[in-house]
Structure 1
Amino acid sequence: MKLLGKILDYFEESLIILMMAYMAIMNFLNVVFRYCFASSFSFTEELTVTVFVWVTMLGIAAGFKRYAHLGMSFVVDLFHGKAKAMFALFGVICSLVFMVFVFYFGIEMVQGQINMGSTTPVLRMPQAVQGLSMPVGAIFIIIRILQAGFLQVKGLWNEDEQGGTQA
């Protein structure tokens, strides 16, 4: 199971790095061409928006993995002991429910895009390529919510039993 987690980490982080590098390079080249040659690559804007949507969804998953999400920490931090763990669990459940909705409606959106045959204006790329970021990203996020949520709730639950020494 640890190997699968490491593979997922590597895949997720590699995709984010590659996509961010693509966006930075293409936007830089676009600006240079616009100012030096008075023309730009029209397709880069479309691809950059598509890549940005994917990076956003994968970045949310990476944020959950690193506990860098806001969650309900304001509410959770008001409590101590088992109540703190229970409110953290409530936050995890709320996040999971929301991402299940994103997954479900993301699939519906992609099906609609495919059924309508919608494409992007310049490249005529299927709009579903952007849309797929929602259900696929939701799967990554759900996995990360489960991982981080389990560790967070377990840590808070055990914190009370160990006299509040764990973070």
Structure 2
Amino acid sequence: MFARRLALVENLLAAVPFAVVAVVAFVNVLSRYFFNASLAFTSELTVNLAVWMVMMGAVIGLREGAHLGFSALYDHVPGVVRGVLTVVITLTVLAFLAVLLLFGLEMALQQAERGRATPSIGVPQWVFTIALPIGALLGVYRAVQAGVSGFQASTVEQSPSEEAER
């Protein structure tokens, strides 16, 4: 039940910014075409919401197993090596996410302390920057989840070359 609700939250955190960007970009195109005027805030909003979309897309990729299988190498090695690769890849992803979590949180806190706001729309900048640590936290959960299931699968399954030897 928790996994389904978390997946729904992750999907919403990716889909809502995407929908806002699509609507804002469409309105900007209409504004340029009919009024010969561009809406200045659209590029600012689009760039800042892209941070949310990228982070949530990476989390969804981890959840769906899109990151942890370098299949050209991974699919052609025996189960033991596959298990080692799974651990190494998972630890590498976790190290990257830990750095992203620490620096993203530090940056968001500094922006909040200084009262930084976006130039055109005046939204506090930390609202967009907080996507980094939130995405990193969700990514840690999903990376561990994918790593454990990948490791378990590597100890149970045999690679195609092992099956051919039998």
What range is the shorter-chain TM-score in? 0.7 to 0.9
In structure 2, the CA distance between the partners of 1:116 and 1:71, relative to structure 1 (3 Å rule), is farther
1:38 maps to what in 2? 36
Structure 1 residue 38 displacement after superposition: 1.0
| Distance in 2 of aligned mates of 1:65 and 1:11 | 13
In structure 2, the CA distance between the partners of 1:70 and 1:143, relative to structure 1 (3 Å rule), is closer
| Distance in 1 of aligned mates of 2:10 and 2:119 | 29
TM-score, length basis structure 1:
0.87
| Distance in 2 of aligned mates of 1:75 and 1:96 | 21
1:76 maps to what in 2? 74
| Distance in 1 of aligned mates of 2:44 and 2:6 | 28
2:5 maps to what in 1? 7
Structure 1 residue 115 displacement after superposition: 2.8
Q: Which amino acid aligns with 1:31?
A: V
Unmatched 5+ stretches in structure 1: none
2:90 maps to what in 1? 92
- Which digits, 9 at most, give the CA deviation of each residue in 1:135-166, with x for residues without a partner? 011011111111111111110111149x75xx
2:112 maps to what in 1? 114
Identity level (%)? 32
Unmatched 5+ stretches in structure 2: none
1:58 touches 1:137 (CA, 8 Å); kept in 2? yes
1:50 maps to what in 2? 48
RMSD of aligned residue pairs (Cα, Å): 2.1
- Which digits, 9 at most, give the CA deviation of each residue in 1:88-113, with x for residues without a partner? 11101110111011101111111222
SS at match of 2:38: coil
Q: Which amino acid aligns with 1:46?
A: E
Structure 1 residue 73 displacement after superposition: 4.1
| Distance in 2 of aligned mates of 1:151 and 1:74 | 19
